[in-house]
Amino acid sequence: MPRQSLRDEAYHIIYEQIIGGALAKGAVTSEVQLSRQLDMSRTPVRAALQQLENEGFLRIIPKHGVLVLDSSAQRVGDLLELLTALLLYAVTSVRLRDEAALGDLSRQLVHELESLLAASDELSLEISGGYSPALEIACDHRPALEPAGELALCQFEYDFVSRVIALSHNQEMQQTLANSASRLFWAGNKKRWIAPYRLEMGDTLHSLLSRLTADTDSFIEAMNKYLHMLKKTWI
């Protein structure tokens, strides 16, 4: 395996600090400060910062430093629309390529969502918030997700879109999905899975999953309702 370059190493460290909150939204740092922190020369750090700026995570302000960007309403709305556009294109493509596989995935996703919602309801009654066997079963033999129900549901949403895109065999779309979800701080925005939105969100997502192989107008209607719910609880 080729050794990771210093630029890539700097990128991943700074990226994780932004995603994890160590570099909070609105925080100001500098190329020099980060170079000292990472014990690297300024060249790889500068290249990493330029990439992160291109991806929308920060802004380099000459002679003033590096500003970690907050997510504006317009930017969030654009990213959410991009995600649903990816989903629409993937569904349209897979219908032409292998509609039977899409139908199988639709039924599987509906079952997983129903199981996950039931497990999440059960978990919400357990004040301890500890390990729940029901939650692991709901994940269909995959490793147990985060024990907190809202985080598990957020992860399920991402997995759902990723699995549909996987059927289209388009790696660029997968990368775009991953980058967009990161810029949205996807797992950290779980308002849609908390009262008073939780029941409506569950019904909206269930309808969307059920219509993956429905006629185009019906699917688009369900997708637009899903997008509306995301925007309402995100912006």
pLDDT per residue over 82-128, tens digit each? Answer: 999 999 999 999 999 999 999 999 999 999 999 999 987 776 656 44
| Strand bridging mode 28-29 / 65-68 | antiparallel
- pTM metric for this prediction: 0.70
Q: Which CATH architecture has domain 73-234?
A: Up-down Bundle (1.20)
pLDDT in tens, 191-212: 999 999 999 999 999 999 999 9
Q: Which of 9-13, 59-63, 204-208 has the lowest mean pLDDT?
A: 59-63
User: Which CA distances in Å does 212 have to 82, 87, 118?
Assistant: 18, 10, 22
For the chain, what are the domain ranges? 6-68, 73-234
The alpha-helical segments, DSSP class H, found in the chain are 6-20, 31-38, 42-54, 73-124, 133-138, 149-168, 171-183, 198-210, 216-234
**How is domain 6-68 classified at the architecture level of CATH?**
Orthogonal Bundle (1.10)
